[in-house]
Structure 1
Amino acid sequence: MNRKWTSLLTASLMTLAFSTQAATLLVGSYTDGASQGIYRYAFESKTGQIEPTPQQVIKSVSPSWLVLSADQRQLFVVNETPQGHASSFSVSSKGEIKPLNQVATRGDEPTHASLSRDQRYLFVANYAVAPNPGGSLVVIPVAKDGKLKTVVQQVRHKPSGVNPERQAGAHVHSLVLSPEGSHLYASDLGADKVFIYRYDGASPDKPLTPAIPASVTLPPGSGPRHLLFDAKGRHAYLTLEMSAEVVMFDVKDAALQERQRLPLTEQKDAAARAAGGLNLSADGRFLYVSNRGTANEIVVFSVGKDDGQLTFLQRRSVEGDHPREFALDPSDNFLLVANQKSNQIVVMRRDPRTGKLEETVQTLPQDAPSDLKFIE
């Protein structure tokens, strides 16, 4: 067989391997540069390789956060623009994505969203860079066909004002539901608080009401960013962006009780303090936290089996700039990092036994990646 036919056969076999064995990786990105929006890739969990050529490119303006429905047949994104929007897409059984509709979020620069457990509402965090009127939380109904309706509820918080540059206004950074779906937790960087709301899907005009207690207060100027619950909802973990710390909470009757607060960096320079996302391994034994700024690291902790407390394990460079978000693949053997400012996705091997991150197996060029989600 000549060299030409050998190359064609090899390429065909590689394509077949990806098409029959791969998971689907969705990448959201900022579209201020060369990116067009959402990219759909094949990911091979045996090797940790992303097929370099995307299977589909879906045009969407700065889809910075992606949310999949429980059955993974609907995709919702927030479009992080000065006049924010949320967009809805259908996902076929083959993973093909088609746009459905888009609605205004009544706020600026939305950065995060989550879907109610009953799939009836999309909760959107309008971060809003400008302090006036500042950020807000909005509730958007989801129709049975997956299309979004207009906002039915909007909530604004009072800022702490501790940092005059970054906390003059409220900045809702993330909205996370408790595992059973009864409460919504709003991390507000501008208020130095996590606000807690009861969710009632039977109340169409006002699905959210303040819980008791209505919030938990974090250290002044710390800037709460992302919250994550363990599988049983007994413990929660929170990144403090501005102080570059991670907080561990006990959860009881929806209230958050702080048990532990640990630094993500030993560097004294404020430029090294920019905590980002966090993820737990599937078995709940390890927590991974990103710290951006000049640090650009993933910090690994082991998680106490009974008490949920954290023990430092490892600090690993992301080999790029500004890890906006990261994700563990479906096999839990690889960790993928979206390095926004260095325009790349870095894939690292993970040891499931020790939890530690090992060698880099791939670096894929990708303009301004912001979020990573898998369709299984």
Structure 2
Amino acid sequence: MTETTLVLVGNAKAGTVSVLKLGEGSLEPLSTSTIGAGTGTFAVDAAHSLVYCATKQPEPAIVTLRLDRSSGVLTEVARRAVADPLAYLTLTRDGDLLLGASYHGGWGVAWPVADGGLVGEETSRVEHANLHCVVTDSASRYAYFVSLGDDLISQTAIGEDGVLTPLDPPTVAAPEGSGPRHLVLAADEHAAYLVTEFSGEAIRLERDPATGQLTRAESVSIVDPEAGLTHSRFGADPMAEHLIWGADVHVARFGSYLLATERTASTVAVVSLDADGLLGGVVGLVPTEAQPRGFAVAPDSRHVVVAGEGSGSVALYELSDEGELVKRDRHETGAGANWVRFA
């Protein structure tokens, strides 16, 4: 690799963020910084070496951190209290707007950003039950909020002033009771892929890049058929009742494969994608870290880092052209490891 790629891992129970350096099939731990209990999501502004991290203790807040790329140390530069804990944070392309989704609060918000911190009041608010994710397209023209509680995706346009305007239609329905959780756009942005928590599906949605509108298409199960898991529901204990517990989803190998995690059986599913981005079959189900709540694909599109909420460790994999996910390295990061991003 010609440039240093850093891996940031949020350890919610430990209240820390660990920084590791990605090598060719290896991870080198650099530093672990204490941020605050509940560091369950963060967004990275690599161009400005800034990280926006959500915490729960001593109060729900968004902490702005400056990243020293050589040492991996994170230093707090600003803090903004919020009404409820956040499940997901993402930045627009230029890093001038931060969007967040609150699962417990049932709201999604956009905040203007300047000089390394949130400035002024929120520009917009979206309200749906148990919002679990928010993502934007690469041009930052559209934002999508995923509501686990209402089984839908809220689709909005992002104005130059940061105001979110609902599209027509304003929402796209997911299957009833499926528990939509995380969403990711295809590289060409002609499709989006959704993972569901309760039904354990990867769902493809067709996307019109000009209008931003999503239309639900086909789906495939990401659940290990030999694990004996059954459909989950809101408020259930998946581990105690042996239920499906879908978690995260990302595209890898330059759009050739879709990866998705399931936490009860602790697996990563590798789903083939054709040249048009349509879902194929599951070509691999790989055992991984206990309760793989979050993972991410490196900029090279082949290295994958999976965080184990139950193990407190991350595993590094390499995805081959044939869709084989091969384990290369593993390191302990901290209790409740559940979020991964690259910088």
* TM-score (norm: length of structure 2): 0.87
How far is the alpha carbon of 1:58 from its aligned partner?
4.1
Task: Describe the SS at the equivalent of 2:255.
Answer: coil
CA distance in 2, matches of 1:22, 1:306: 32
Checking the alignment, whether the CA contact within 8 Å between 1:277 and 1:324 is kept in structure 2 is yes
Task: Describe the SS at the equivalent of 1:71.
Answer: helix
- Across the aligned residues of Structure 1 and Structure 2, the Cα RMSD in angstroms comes to 2.3
Q: Are 2:334 and 1:364 aligned?
A: no
How far is the alpha carbon of 1:110 from its aligned partner?
0.7
How far is the alpha carbon of 1:83 from its aligned partner?
4.6
CA distance in 2, matches of 1:214, 1:246: 22
How has the CA–CA distance of structure 1 residues 117 and 329 changed in structure 2, closer, same or farther, with 3 Å as cutoff?
Answer: closer
Match of 1:192 in 2: 151
Output the amino acid matched with 2:325.
L
Output the amino acid matched with 1:71.
A
Q: Deviations over 1:241-286 (max 9, x none)?
A: 1111110011122111112011122334343411111111151111
Task: Describe the SS at the equivalent of 1:321.
Answer: coil
CA distance in 1, matches of 2:185, 2:127: 23
CA distance in 2, matches of 1:192, 1:29: 28
Segments of structure 2 that go 5 or more residues without pairing to the other structure are: 233-241
Q: Deviations over 1:24-57 (max 9, x none)?
A: 22111113xxx2411122232x2x22224x3352
Output the amino acid matched with 1:259.
A
Match of 1:345 in 2: 314
Output the amino acid matched with 1:84.
P
| Identical positions, percent | 22
Q: Which has the higher strand share?
A: 2
CA distance in 2, matches of 1:272, 1:193: 21
Q: How does 1:71-220 map to 2 (within 5 A)?
A: 71-80=47-56, 83-92=59-68, 94=70, 96-106=73-83, 108-128=84-104, 134-143=105-114, 145-153=115-123, 155-158=125-128, 170-202=129-161, 207-220=163-176
CA distance in 2, matches of 1:304, 1:212: 29
Task: Describe the SS at the equivalent of 1:283.
Answer: helix
Q: How does 1:1-376 map to 2 (within 5 A)?
A: 23-31=5-13, 35-44=14-23, 46=24, 48-52=25-29, 54-69=30-45, 71-80=47-56, 83-92=59-68, 94=70, 96-106=73-83, 108-128=84-104, 134-143=105-114, 145-153=115-123, 155-158=125-128, 170-202=129-161, 207-252=163-208, 253-265=211-223, 266=225, 267-269=228-230, 270=232, 271-293=242-264, 295-318=265-288, 320-351=289-320, 353-358=321-326, 360-367=327-334, 368-375=336-343
Checking the alignment, whether the CA contact within 8 Å between 1:325 and 1:372 is kept in structure 2 is yes
Structure 1 residues 109-118 or 55-64, which shifts more?
55-64
Checking the alignment, whether the CA contact within 8 Å between 1:248 and 1:310 is kept in structure 2 is no
Task: Describe the SS at the equivalent of 1:195.
Answer: strand
Q: Deviations over 1:312-346 (max 9, x none)?
A: 2111111x311011122344443221001121112
Match of 1:9 in 2: none
Q: Whose RCO is larger (CA < 8 A, sep 6+)?
A: 2
Q: How many residues align?
A: 326
Checking the alignment, whether the CA contact within 8 Å between 1:141 and 1:152 is kept in structure 2 is yes
How far is the alpha carbon of 1:61 from its aligned partner?
3.2
* TM-score (norm: length of structure 1): 0.80
Match of 1:13 in 2: none
How has the CA–CA distance of structure 1 residues 72 and 60 changed in structure 2, closer, same or farther, with 3 Å as cutoff?
Answer: farther
CA distance in 1, matches of 2:57, 2:203: 30
CA distance in 2, matches of 1:185, 1:154: 13
How far is the alpha carbon of 1:84 from its aligned partner?
2.2
How far is the alpha carbon of 1:62 from its aligned partner?
2.2
